[in-house]
Amino acid sequence: MASNSNSSESQRIAQQRLRIIAGHLQKQKDDDSGIIATECKAEANKGTVPRKRQEIMKWNGWGYSDSKFLFNKKGHAEFTGKRYRLSGMVLPSLQDWFENTFGASVNHKSPATPTLNASAVPPASLNEAFVEDLKTTGIPFSHEAEDRVFRAHGHCLHEIFALREGKKFERVPDMVVWPNCHNDVVKIVELACKHNVCLIPYGGGTSVTSALECPPEETRCIVSLDTSQMNRILWIDEKNLVAHVEAGIIGQDLERLLNESGYCTGHEPDSMEFSSLGGWVATRASGMKKNVYGNIEDLVIHIKVVTPRGVIEKSCQGPRMSTGPDIHHFILGSEGTLGVVTEVTMKIRPIPEYQKYGSVVFPNFEAGVACLREVAKQRCAPASIRLMDNEQFQFGHALKPQVSSIFTNFVEGLKKFYITKFKGFDPHQLVVATLLFEGDRERVLQHEKQVYDIAATFGGLAAGEDNGQRGYILTFVIAYLRDLGMDYYVVAESFETSVPWDRVLDLCRNVKERINRECKERGVQFQPLTSCRVTQTYDAGACVYFYFAFNYRGLADPVHTYEQVEHAAREEILANGGSLSHHHGVGKLRKEWMKESISSLGVGMLQSVKDYVDPDNIFGNRNLL
């Protein structure tokens, strides 16, 4: 059967998951020394993120400075730090997998530049009048190179690669400001309009669309507006189950603070450790548990936005309105081009009583997709259901730690034996679906049975909770793994799309094949890793997420090659009925396809909104249009 763990075990796991999230929080010392306290700074800053982000986070890679993968002297992979489940563990199979998959070697290192070279950063070109006026408001700001560089990028491959190489920066923000509340933002925007300064909102910095990059042609002073200090829950309304929250709060803090009152939002994008509420709204983010809680557009009840024309908000918090086109939808996905999201009223839910992971192994990807389709049809998708292809299944296996109470190798081995030998599943074909159920215990178990029964009709075999959980851990650490790859000549990136059900298989196959072919044509000397998974199900289609990585030894300009291949892959996606993006957004990376995607009339509509709201292009990051 699916799981024979008793309820206390499941409880333990559920608790543990909450701890994973809570675990990221190390109380930050309040280092706001010498800053004038403003009226909106009523309570001490409880957020994880300090103004000097580089104090806890890598300046040229993903996540916390103390957490990273490395190959130790024995060639075994290790994950440093104490924050994560995998922290401090040795992953004996990873090296093998890594070397075999990429033709890479732990002896061929491509180390990153250790520290930021300040001379590679163009000097700040400040708008003195703006700075003078800003000083009178008491809002903290900085024009130190490190602060500016940190906010000049998101987490696209080319951005991180350039940081590691220590390349000269073409354009970075000239200064960074840290508003503490809505009113601070109003003041900043007013001053920016007055002095014709370009503003770029900055949330968690996890963008993967070049959305945070400064347009090189921008000649005005560029100010990065870092929302990280606007991170309070202003009130919780238990009668209506909504919370009013400042938009700079990051996912892990939001969940932790709500958990303290017994609530959660259930919005868990894979980047939730660092991405912010305002960023989610600005990019139309999607969380893995959207089947229960909805995507960001389903979660927001009210949004407050400061624009050059003033503040946009609705007059009430009615749960649905017929008042013409929903103005929230101009804001959702606006990618920082219209203004700053400062406060959001968001739905909350009581923390689920019970959580359970699960997994199903299918003989092949086709069977897995057919099963997910059926689950969607019967509208019985668990909080999360994801189908990993064979490449990712193997990748997941490579991440098994050496000894651990949770990862029982012996049983795992038995299971593998069972699957590959008895059922005749081909280990190079089989795929795994990972599941996460939530709710009250009774219902979860019932639900679980329903899903496993459907799976069985497609040849799926229940493969245990651990396999399921490991799948979600993989998503959590994947960005850290990319940094490891880059230490050894491997570049990697992910991209996503949404596509009608009947085209899922064709799209996956064609995109993978296109990538392989493009790599070959562009002189990539090693077989690339192309892998995909179906990460979300909808009534009419699914979200498909691709990983793509290759060993770049022998290439003169790996990033350029990578970009060409990704470009081709996107064309292939569009030609196969996939969308330009399901949740990452457009940014500057995919702008060129906007017309094709939403018609030139559609682009015109967006443009006229932009022209009305921000006639002087104060929010000049040039995303989308």
Partner 1 sequence: MASKTLYSQRDPMLKRDGFEDILEERRNSSDLKYALRCYAPVLYKGVTPCKANMLKNIVLQSDQLHYVINQVSQESGEAPDIIQEEASVILEEMAHRLQISTVRFFAFALSKAFKTLFQHVCVNEEGIQRLQQAIQEHPVVLLPSHRSYMDFLLMSYILYTYDLALPVIAAGMDFMGMKFVGEMLRMSGAFFIRRSFGGDKLYWAVFSEYVKTMLRNGFAPIEFFLEGTRSRTCKSLTPKLGLLNIVIEPFFKGEVFDVNLVPVSISYERILEESLYARELLGVPKPKESTSGLLKARRILSEDYGSIHVYFGQPVSVRSLAQGKVNRSKYNLFPRHIPRKPMEETQSFVNDTAYRIVRLQEDNMVLKPWVLMASLLLQNLEGLELSVLTEQTLWLRGLALSYAAFLDWPDHAPTAKVVSSSLALHRGLACVSGGRVSLVVGEPLGPVTPEEALFNRAVSVLSCASYRNQVLHVFLRPAMLAVAMHTAASSRKNEVYNCFSFLWDVFSNDFILCPGDTVQDFEEACYLLVKTGAVQMPQQDIEMTDRGQPILSFFNGLLEPFLQGYQVVCRYLCEEASEGLTEKQYIPAVRSFAVKLILAGNLRCYEVLSSDMQKNALAALLRMDAVRKVKVADQVTLIVNKMAVNSIDDILGGKLPTQKAVLARL
Residues that bind partner 1 (CB under 8 A): 502-503, 506-507, 509-510, 513-514, 574-577, 596
Considering only 164, 584, 588, 590, the residue that binds ligand FAD (CB under 6 A) is 584
User: Is position 205 annotated in a ligand binding site?
Assistant: yes
Residues of this chain, 253-272, that bind ligand FAD according to CB under 6 A: 269-271
Out of 545, 547, 552, 562, the active site residue is 545
Provide the token pair at 504: 């899922």
**577 interface partner picked from partner 1, ligand FAD, none, CB below 5 to 8 A per type:** partner 1
Q: Which element (helix H / strand E) includes 463?
A: none
Angle formed at CA 460 by CA 388 and CA 289, multiple of 5 degrees: 50
Nearest to 505 by CA among 544, 474, 469, 548: 544
Instruction: For the beta carbon of residue 576, count every other beta carbon within 10 angstroms.
Output: 18
Q: Give the nearest distance from C-beta 472 to ligand FAD in angstroms.
A: 11
Q: Does 623 bind ligand FAD (CB under 6 A)?
A: yes
Nearer to ligand FAD, 127 or 271 (CB): 271
- Return the one option of ligand FAD, partner 1, none that residue 96 interacts with (CB less than 5 to 8 A, by type): none
Cα–Cα nearest to 408, from 356, 355, 354, 470: 470
Given partner 1, ligand FAD, none, residue 269, with its beta carbon under 5 to 8 Å by kind, binds ligand FAD
Adjacency order of strands within the sheet including 77-79 = 69-71, 77-79, 90-91
Residues ≥6 apart with Cβ < 8 Å to 590: 209, 570, 580, 581
In the bound complex, what is the minimum distance in angstroms from residue 68's beta carbon to ligand FAD? 14
Cα–Cα dist 406/468, whole Å: 12
Q: Is residue 621 a contact residue for ligand FAD (CB under 6 A)?
A: yes
**Binding-site partner at residue 252 among ligand FAD, partner 1, none, CB < 5 to 8 Å by type:** none
Residue 202 interacting entry, from ligand FAD, partner 1, none, C-beta within 5 to 8 Å by type: ligand FAD
d(CA 242, CA 258) in angstroms, rounded, equals: 11
Q: Which does 208 bind (CB under 5 to 8 A by kind): ligand FAD, partner 1, none?
A: ligand FAD
Check the annotation: does 340 bind a ligand: yes
User: Site for ligand FAD (CB under 6 A): which residue of 21, 86, 152, 200?
Assistant: 200
CB 598, min distance to partner 1, A: 13
Restricting to residues 432-471, which ones interact with ligand FAD according to CB under 6 A? none
Q: Which is nearer to partner 1, 261 or 579 (CB)?
A: 579
Question: Which 352-411 positions form the footprint of ligand FAD (CB under 6 A)?
Answer: none
Strand ranges of the sheet holding 431-439, from the earlier edge strand across to the other edge: 461-462, 354-362, 431-439, 384-388, 529-537, 541-551, 490-500
482 is in an annotated binding site: yes
Site for ligand FAD (CB under 6 A): which residue of 279, 396, 460, 528? Answer: 279
Under a CB-based contact definition with an 8 Å cutoff, are residues 59 and 169 in contact?
no
**Shortest Cβ distance from residue 338 to ligand FAD (Å)?**
8
Q: Is 166 annotated as a binding residue?
A: no
Measured CA to CA, the distance from residue 510 to residue 563 in angstroms comes to: 18
What's the CA gap between 69 and 89, in Å, rounded? 10
Give the DSSP per-residue string, 101-127: HH---TTS--PPPSS--GGGSPPP---
Cβ–Cβ under 8 Å, residues 447 and 356:
no
Partner in contact with 343, chosen from partner 1, ligand FAD, none, beta carbon below 5 to 8 Å by kind: none
Q: Strand, coil or helix: what is 433?
A: strand
203 assigned to a ligand binding site: yes
Contact 485, 94 (CB under 8 A): no
**Dihedral of the alpha carbons of 248, 213, 141, 331, in degrees to the nearest 10:** -40
Minimum Å gap between C-beta 76 and partner 1 is 35
Site string for ligand FAD, 216-235 (x = CB under 6 A): -----------x--------
Cβ nearer to ligand FAD, comparing 283 with 576: 283
Residue 366 neighbours by CB distance under 10 Å: 16
DSSP state of 418: I
Residue 201 known to bind ligand? yes
On whether 577 is known to bind a ligand per the annotation, the reply is no
341 among annotated binding-site residues: yes
- Decide if 433 contacts 362 (C-beta within 8 A): yes
Task: Based on the shown chain and the rule CB under 6 A, indicate whether residue 201 belongs to the binding site for ligand FAD.
Answer: yes
Is 545 one of the annotated active-site residues of the chain?
A: yes
Cβ-count burial of 422 within 10 angstroms (0-12 exposed, 13-18 middle, 19+ buried)?
Answer: exposed
Q: Which of 176, 257, 282, 568 binds ligand FAD (CB under 6 A)?
A: 282
CA angle 186, 191, 197 (to 5 degrees): 115
Tokens 């990807």 -> residue: 365
3-state secondary structure of 193: helix
Among the listed ranges 29-37, 121-129, 279-287, 318-326, the one in contact with ligand FAD (CB under 6 A) is 279-287
22 in a known ligand binding site: no
Is 323 annotated in some ligand binding site?
Answer: no
Q: Which is nearer to ligand FAD, 131 or 225 (CB)?
A: 225
277 is in an annotated binding site: no
Q: List CB contacts of 397: < 8 A, sequence separation 6 or more.
A: 93, 97
Q: What is the dihedral of CA 238, 244, 250, 252, to 10 degrees?
A: -10
Closer of 211 and 431 to ligand FAD (Cβ)? 211
The piece of 208-216, 548-556, 591-599, 604-612 that touches ligand FAD (CB under 6 A) is: 208-216
Q: Which residues bind ligand FAD (CB under 6 A)?
A: 154-155, 200-208, 211-212, 227, 247, 269-271, 275-276, 278-280, 282-283, 285-286, 335-336, 340-341, 479, 583-585, 621, 623
Q: Catalytic site residues?
A: 545
Binding-site positions read 201-207, 283-286, 335-341, 482
Binding-site positions for substrate read 482
Binding-site positions for FAD read 201-207, 283-286, 335-341
